[in-house]
Amino acid sequence: MELTNYLNAMRDASGVPFYPVVFQFFLVLTFALHIMFVNFLLGGVVVSIWARIKATPNSLRLSKALARGSTINASLAMVLGVAPLLFVQVIYDPFWYTANSMSAYWAMAFLLILAVAFTASYVFYLSGSDKAPGASGWAVLALLALLAAAAVIHALSVEQLLPQMWKTWLISGQEVNASGKGLYAFEWHRFLHFIAPSIAMAGVYLMLYAWFFNGRKDYDRAYLQETATLGANLALYATAAQIAIGLWWLFSVPMEFAFYKNPFFLVGAGMGAAFFLFLMTARANPIKNAPVAALIAFLSIFLMSYAREALRMTYTGKVGYNIFDYKLSLDWGSTVLFLGTFVMGIVVMSYPILVAVQVAKNGKESNNEGLAKLATALPVVWFLVVAGLGIVISLKNGTLF
Amino acid sequence: MYPFWEVPVWTSGIFIALIATFHILPSHLATGAFWFNVFIERKALKENRPGLLDFIKRYTLMILIFCFVYGSLTGVGIWFAATVASPRSISALIHNYVWGWATEWVFFILEIVTIYIYYYTLDKVSPKTHMRIGWIYAWSAWISMIIITGILAFMLSSDSWIRTGGFFDGFFNSTYWPQLFSRTALMLGIAGLYAIISASGMENEKDRNDVIRSASIWGMAGMVFGGIFSAWFLYKMPEAAKGLGLSGGLPYLKNMLYAAVVCYALVFLYMLVAGLLRPQLAGKTLGILMLVVLFLGIGAGEGFREGVRRPYIISQFMYGNQIIAADVPAKAIKSEKELFKDGFLAHIYFVPDGLRTITPENEKAVGHIIARHQCGNCHTFDADGKMRALSGLFTRLGMTSKDDIAGWMDAMEGYAYMPPFLGSEEEKQAVAAFLASKMQK
C-alpha cells in the first residue's frame, strides 16, 4: 500500500458535512485565538517570575496581577483549544490520528503535564498574600511544565508533516512498534517560533493592562507607566527576535516549496513587520497605543496562522493529499445550528464582558437593560427551539415513547 | 488502519475509561451547580441574608478550579484518549457530529466567560445583574449537556440514522430523552453533594444548616428522579442491549448496575441523614468519602452503558475493533465486512515488507499484527493481562492449540457481543497461531 493510498483510504467514510474551506477558516481562526491566550499564559508566567524575584512593591503587585491573569488565561487557552482540535480532525484526520497513535503515551502525558502546569499556576496565585503571589518556585514549575507541554504538542505537529518518515519510525526489521512510547520529530526553529511570541504577547498584555486600569484611583500612574513601558520594550525586542527566528525557519523549509513566495506567508510576514514598526513608535506612549498594538498583534497571529496552514497544505500536497477533494456529505441543518449558535454566543457573551469592563474601568456598571434582557433570553430561546425540533423529530421517527 | 497502540495488561481502553469516569464528576457539577447557586443567591436577596453569599463565593471557587481546570482537561483528555485508543471511532463521531461539538464549544466559552465574571463581580454589581450572569451560566452549562447527550446516546442507539444519515435523526434517538432526563437529575444530585461539602465549612451555623438542608433536598430529588429516568432508559434500550445487560447475556453488566444502585442509595441516605435530618453531622471528610462512593456508582453506571453497546462502539455502524459493520446508503458508506473478508492484511499500511506474504516462519508475527487490529481494542494477549485476556479465556475453555482457536474464531459470529473475524483463511490461521503461541508461555 502506497502512502498516498493510505492517506486517502484513511479519510473518514462519512465525509465532511460542509465545505472544507469553512472548516479550514474556523480551524485557523480558533487556532489564532487559542494561541494568543497560550502566549499570554506562557509569557505572563515568565514575567511574573521575574517580577516576583525582583520583589519591589510595584513588581510584586504586577506579579500578583499576572498570576491571577494566568489562571484565567489557562482556562481560556484550554477551552479555545478545543475548537482547532476538533476542526483539524475533520480535514486532516489521517495525519492527526496517525501521529498521535504513534506517540500515544506522549499524547496522554501532554494532559498530565498541563494538569501540573495549571495546578502550579493556581497554587502560585492563591498561596500568596493580597500584595504578592506565592513562592516563585510554583511559577517556575508551571513554566517548566508549560514548556514541556509545548514541546510535546510541537513534536506531534511536526510528525504530522512528515508522513514519508512514518514507516521508518515505526517499522524496524520484522517488527512494528506499537508501544506508543516514541516521539519522533523536533524542529528547534519551528518550536522557538512557537515560543518566542509569548514574550511579545506578554508585552502587549502589560500594555493592555496599563491602558485598562489607567485613570482608576487605586492604580498609581507611575506604576502603570512603568508597566506599559516594560510591556512595549518586551514586545519590541521579542518581535525582533521572532523575525530572526522566522527567517531561520523559512530557510529550513524545503526550497522546492518556494514558500518565501507564498502569498499567505508574505501577508503574514508583512503584518509581523508592521507590528514591529508600530512598536518602535508606540514606545513613546505605550498606554495610549495599547489597543492598536493589541489589534495589530492579533492580526499578525491570525495571518501567520494562515501562513502556517498554507505551509501544512504544501507539505500534505506533496504526498497527494488535498483537503478540498474530501468527500462532501452536506448537512445544512447542523451547519445552520452551529453558525446560528456562534452568532448568538457572541451576542450573549458581550453582556457579561461589557459589565466586567464597566466595573473594572469605572467601578460600577452602566445601564445595559436591553442587552441584559436579550443575553438572558437567548439561551432559553435556543433551548425551546432545539427541544421543539427534537420532539418533532422524535415523534416523526417514533423514538420518543 | 491506523497504527495500533498496544497497552500491555490493560488495553488502551483503560485510559478512556479512567479519564471519562473521572470527567463525569466535574462535568456534571459544572452543568448542575449553578441552578443551585442562583437559587441560594435569590434566597439571600429575598430574605436579606448576606451570610448566604459566603457560600456562593466558596462554591463558585470550587467549581472554577475543579471544573474549569480538571474538568476541562479531562474533557479534552477523553478526546485525546479516544484519538490514540480508537481513532476510527472518534473520527466517525466527529465527521458526523462536528457541528454538534462545535455548537457545544460555543457554550463552553460562554460558561468560562460567565463563571469568571460571576466570581469576580460578586458584591461589585447589582444583585439583579449578578444573578443574570448566573442564569446565563446555568443555561449554557445545561445546554452543553443537552448537546453531548445526543452524541453519547447515538453511540448506543443510532436508530434511523443508519438509513437516512441525518444529523438530527441520529441525535434525537430512542435513548436520547431518557439519558438527558436522567443526567439532568443526576447533575442536581452531584451538585447537591458538592454543595453539602462546600457549605460544611461555613461559620454561621444557621446559614450553614439552611444551605445543607436545601442542598440535600436538591440532591435527593436528583437521585430519585435520576432513578426513575434511568428505569425509563433501561426500558428504552435496544433489545440487543437488554439481552446483554438485563437478561444475563453478560452477567457482570447486571452486577455493575446493582453496584451503581447501591452506591446511589448510600449517597441518598447520607443526604437524608447528614443533610436533611441532622445537618450538623455533615462534614468534609464524610462528604468526600461519599463523593468517592458516588464516583464508583457513576463508574459502574457508565460501565454498564458502555458494556451493553457490544459488539459495537457505534450502534449498528462500527464494531468495537473500529471496522465499519453496515452500509449507510445516504452517505455512500459501504460496510467493510465484504471488503476485509478476503484479506485484511492488505488494508494495513504499517506492515514490514517481509510480512506481506504469510509463510510458516512469519505467521505468528503476521498473526500478531492482525490480532492487534481485530482483537486488541478489547482484549490483551499475554497471560498476565487483566482486561479480557485471551490466553486466560482459551485456557478456561480448554482450547490451547492453533486448531482449537481457529475453530473458535469460526464460531465467533454466534456470540451476540463479539464482532466476526474478518480476513482470509490464511490470516485466520496466522492469528490462531499467534494466540496459541501465547498459551504456551
Residues 78-97 of B with CB under 8 A from A: 79-81, 83-85, 87-88, 90-92, 94-97
Contact between B109 and A79 using a beta-carbon 8 Å cutoff: yes
Cα dihedral A298, A302, A303, A307 sign: positive
pLDDT number for residue A129: 92
Interchain proximity A174–B324, CB inside 8 Å:
no
Cell of B368: 500478531
CB A179: neighbour CB atoms within 10 A? 15
The answer to whether B37 contacts chain A (CB < 8 Å) is no
Task: Indicate the DSSP class of residue A328.
Answer: B
Q: State what percent of residues in chain B have pLDDT above 70.
A: 100
Give the angle B43-B49-B50 at the CA atoms, nearest 5°.
Answer: 110
Residue with cell 475543579: B66
Residue pointed to by grid coordinates 453533594? B193
Q: φ and ψ at A11, to 5 degrees?
A: -55, 145
Does the pLDDT value for residue B6 go beyond 90? yes
Of residues A194, A90, A306, A351, the one with CA closest to residue B130: A351
Q: Are A78 and B72 an interchain contact pair (Cβ–Cβ within 8 Å)?
A: yes
Residue A153: partners with Cβ closer than 8 Å, 6 or more residues away:
A110
Query: The whole model's pTM is what?
Result: 0.95
Chain B positions touching A328 (Cβ under 8 A) are none
How confident is the model at residue B412, as a pLDDT? Answer: 85
Is residue A32 scored above 60 in pLDDT?
yes
Nearest CA in chain B to A367: B129
The pLDDT score that the predictor gives to residue B413 is 77
Residues of A in contact with B96 (CB under 8 A): 14, 17
DSSP state of A171: E
- The pLDDT tens digits of the residues spanning B388-431 come to 999 999 999 999 899 999 999 998 878 888 999 999 999 999 99
Distance from the B182 Cα atom to the nearest Cα atom in chain A, whole angstroms? 15
CA atoms within 13 Å, Cβ hemisphere of A155: 20
- How many interface pairs between A and B have CB atoms less than 8 angstroms apart? 276
Flag if B331 and A15 touch (Cβ within 8 Å): yes
Alpha helices in A196-331 (DSSP H): 197-213, 221-252, 263-282, 290-318
Angle at A225 between CA A224 and CA A231, to 5 degrees: 90
B80–A108 CB contact, under 8 Å: yes
What's the pLDDT at A401? Answer: 83
Distance between CA atoms of residues B353 and B346, nearest Å: 11
Model pLDDT, residue B47: 94
Quick check: B5 and A180 CB within 8 A? yes
Give the whole-number percent of chain A exceeding pLDDT 70: 100
Express each pLDDT in B100-153 by its tens digit.
999 999 999 999 999 999 999 998 999 999 999 999 999 999 999 999 999 999
Q: In this predicted model, what pLDDT tens digit does every residue of A8-29 receive, in sequence order?
A: 999 999 999 999 999 999 999 9
- Give the mean pLDDT of A2-6: 96
User: For chain B, how many residues are written?
Assistant: 441
Distance CA A264, CA A25 (A): 13
CA distance A192 to chain B (A): 25
The answer to whether B359 faces chain A, any CB pair under 8 Å, is no
Q: Chain B contacts of A78, Cβ < 8 Å?
A: 72-73, 76
CA nearest B181: which of B138, B137, B234, B133?
Answer: B234
Identify the pLDDT of residue B340: 95
**With contacts defined as CB-CB under 8 Å, which chain A residues touch B68?**
75, 79
Q: What is the mean pLDDT of chain B?
A: 94
Distances (CA, A) of B54 to A343, B117, B263, B284: 35, 17, 31, 17
- Find the residue in A nearest to B65 (Cα): A122
Q: Identify whether the C-beta of residue B226 lies closer than 8 Å to the C-beta of residue B74.
A: no
Residue A1, pLDDT > 80, answer no
**Given CB atoms, is B335 within the 8 Å cutoff of chain A?**
no
Whether the per-residue pLDDT at B441 is higher than 60: the answer is no
Cα separation, B88 vs B82, whole angstroms: 9
Identify the burial level of B360 via C-beta atoms within 10 angstroms of its C-beta, where 0-12 means exposed, 13-18 middle and 19 or more buried.
Answer: exposed
Q: Please identify which residue in the block is written with the cell numbers 452500509.
A: B327
Residue A112: closest C-alpha in chain B? B73
Asked if the C-beta of B339 comes within 8 angstroms of chain A's C-beta atoms, the answer is no
In this complex, the residue of A78, A178, A386 whose CB is nearest that of residue B3 is A178
Q: Which residues of A touch B69 (CB under 8 A)?
A: 74-75, 115, 118-119, 122
Neighbour-count burial of B292, counting CB atoms closer than 10 A to its CB (0-12 exposed, 13-18 middle, 19+ buried): exposed
Chain B neighbors of A383, CB-CB under 8 A: 139, 143, 146
Q: Which residues of chain B lie closer than 8 angstroms to A382, CB-CB? A: 143
Over 80: is that where the pLDDT of B168 sits? yes
Interchain CB distance below 8 Å, A17 and B167:
yes
B112 touches chain A (CB under 8 A): yes
Q: How far apart are CA A80 and CA A86, in angstroms?
A: 11
Which chain B residues have a beta carbon less than 8 Å from that of A110? 80
Contacts of B332 in chain A (CB under 8 A): 15, 327, 329
Q: What percent of chain A has pLDDT over 90?
A: 96
Annotate chain B with three-state secondary structure. CCCCCCCCCCCCHHHHHHHHHHHHHHHHHHHHHHHHHHHHHHHHHHCCCCCHHHHHHHHHHHHHHHHHHHHHHHHHHHHHHHHHHCHHHHHHHHHHHHHHHHHHHHHHHHHHHHHHHHHHCCCCCCHHHHHHHHHHHHHHHHHHHHHHHHHHHHHHCCCCHHHHCCHHHHHCCCCHHHHHHHHHHHHHHHHHHHHHHHHCCCCCHHHHHHHHHHHHHHHHHHHHHHHHHHHHHHHHCCHHHHHHHCCCCCHHHHHHHHHHHHHHHHHHHHHHHHHHHCHHHCCHHHHHHHHHHHHHHHHHHHHHHHHCCCCEEECCCEECCCCECCCEHHHCECCCHHHHHCCCHHHCCCCCHHHCCCCCCCHHHHHHHHHHHHHCCCCCCCCCCCCCCHHHHHHHHCCCCHHHHHHHHHCHHHCCCCCCCCCCHHHHHHHHHHHHHHHCC
Q: pLDDT per residue over B37-95, tens digit each?
A: 999 999 999 999 998 998 999 899 989 988 988 999 999 999 999 999 999 999 999 99
Find chain B residues with C-beta within 8 A of A111's C-beta. 73-74, 76-77, 80
The C-alpha of B61 sits at a distance from chain A's nearest C-alpha, in angstroms, of 11
- Asked if A17 and B96 come within 8 Å (Cβ–Cβ), the reply is yes
Q: Given pLDDT bands bounded at 50, 70 and 90, which one contains residue B249? A: confident
Q: Which of residues 366-385 of B touch A (CB under 8 A)?
A: 369, 372
- Cα distances from B143 to residues A231, B52, B70, B386, in angstroms, run 40, 27, 20, 38
Instruction: Locate the chain B residue with the closest alpha carbon to A1.
Output: B349
**What pLDDT is recorded for position B440?**
53
Of all residues in chain B, the one with the smallest CA distance to A18 is B99
Sort out which chain B residues have CB atoms less than 8 A from A12's CB and list them.
88, 91-92, 94-95
Look at B331 and A13 and tell me if their CB atoms are within 8 Å: yes
Residues A334-354 have pLDDT tens digits of 999 999 999 999 999 999 999
Provide the chain B residues 164-183 that lie in CB contact (below 8 A) with chain A.
165-169, 171-174, 176-177
Average pLDDT over every residue of B361-379: 97
| Beta pairing class for A171-172 and A175-176 | antiparallel
User: In this predicted structure, what is the pLDDT of residue B284?
Assistant: 93
| Residue carrying the nine cell digits 465484504 | B338
